[in-house]
Amino acid sequence: MTQPIGSGVGNPPSRYLSYDDPIDTAAQNFCRNASNVTEGFLCDETTVVSNACRSPTNAVDAFVCDDNKMAGLQHGLWDTVKDTVRMIAGVLIGRMP
């Protein structure tokens, strides 16, 4: 009986087998040493984000982890986007024949 060809199960793609890629090595080191919210988010490490929010070490972490401030920022940004879209639509509709 013959073996199936290229099932992909258990065989990582060949690009992941090379350990000589300096960008891959730098990314692994970056994620291995992640310690704040931004780094944890970029590396998709929820434990790092959670730990950084428990004891923020910089102003960005403190701001991002403060639910009230972040909610205010999100609402303000959403209002600005809506106002901008209304203004653009008004300009486009006003110029139409």
Q: What is the pLDDT of residues 4-30, one digit of tens each?
A: 454 445 555 555 555 677 888 888 888
Q: Indicate yes or no: pTM above 0.85.
A: no
Place of tokens 């730990």: 51
Two tokens, residue 88: 């653009």
Q: What is the DSSP letter of 43?
A: T
Query: Where are the chain's structural domains?
Result: 21-65, 67-97
Two tokens, residue 6: 């290229």
**Would you say 64 and 39 are in contact if contact means Cβ atoms under 8 Å apart?**
no
In this predicted model, which residue has the larger pLDDT, 19 or 43?
43
One DSSP character per residue, 26-39 reads HHHHHHHT--SHHH
